[in-house]
Structure 1
Amino acid sequence: MIFVDTSFWVAYYNSRDPRHREAVELIHDAAGLVTTNHIRGETWTLLRRRTDHALAAKFLDRTERSSELRTVFVSERLESDALRWLRRHDERPYSFVDATSFATMRAMHIRDALTYDDDFTAAGFRRLS
């Protein structure tokens, strides 16, 4: 399984993003993709602000219907794990959404992520992008 982060989704869907072409190539060969409802919400917001409503809606439609992607809904337990983790880590300004992603990845034993966010490697995960 491979976790997909907001930074990757934005690069993939936004053709003006400098990493767009690379994101398209990387996702073409990827299987067993996982993301969270928090990532979906954060991606919607960024795409809506950086592009337009139609592209942001296309992202929602495709991620809802995709048989290649599993969207995990962050539970109370995962959120509690994320909050505990954030309290222990002051070495970087980690975001709440990243912490919930890390908690999800640990719970599902996922090591690899499609992301352009260095916080994933700092937290001990492997960036594939």
Structure 2
Amino acid sequence: MILLDTSFLVAFFNEEDSQHQKALEDMKNVEKEIQLLSNYVALETATVLRNKKDLRLACDFLEGIRAKDKLRIYTLNELDFEGTYKIFRNQKSSLSFIDASIVYLALETNSKIATYDSDISDEIKRLKASDLHR
């Protein structure tokens, strides 16, 4: 299973993004696996695409995720919120709350992550090494 992050999704959908070509290549591997997308990331991605580009691109993204067979949308619950808050409060980087939720889900589901955000990757490594997420 692979968890999808906004940085990866925006790069994939926005042809003007500096990481677009990399995202096209990376998507070939991502599509081979079951993909997990949190409701937080779906909201953030649609908003970023709308603000950086236009409503049409945001809708293309939303329609695209609705049509994917291997994609599961995960709605964070109250327990997930508390776990996310713990990571957010104790972080050693500059994660947004949504980024902290991605870190939390990656650790809880033991998923790989499709991201171009080094803060997310670094925080996951730090927490795995210290086992602070338990």
Q: Establish whether TM, by shorter chain, passes 0.5.
A: yes
> When the two structures are aligned, how many residues end up with a matched partner?
123
Residues 107 and 124 in structure 2, CA contact (< 8 A), matched pair in contact too: no
Root-mean-square deviation (CA, aligned residues, Å) is: 1.2
2:2 touches 2:113 (CA, 8 Å); kept in 1?
Answer: yes
Offset of residue 29 of structure 1: 2.3
Matches for 1:56-95 after TM superposition, within 5 Å? 56-89=58-91, 91-95=92-96
1:123 shift after superposition: 1.2
Output the CA distance in 1 between the equivalents of 2:54 and 2:3: 25
Shift, 1:64, TM fit: 1.6
Q: Any conservation in 2 of the 1:79–1:103 contact (CA below 8 Å)?
A: no
Q: Which string of whole-angstrom CA distances, capped at 9 and with x for unpartnered residues, describes residues 40-81 of structure 1?
A: 000011000111111110100111221121111111101100
Please list every run of 5 or more consecutive structure 1 residues that lacks an aligned counterpart in the other structure: none
Kindly report structure 1 stretches of 4+ aligned residues shifted beyond 4 Å. Answer: none
Separation in 1, partners of 2:70, 2:108: 20
Higher relative helix content: 2
- TM-score w.r.t. length of structure 1: 0.89
Structure 2: 5+ residue runs without aligned partners?
Answer: 126-134
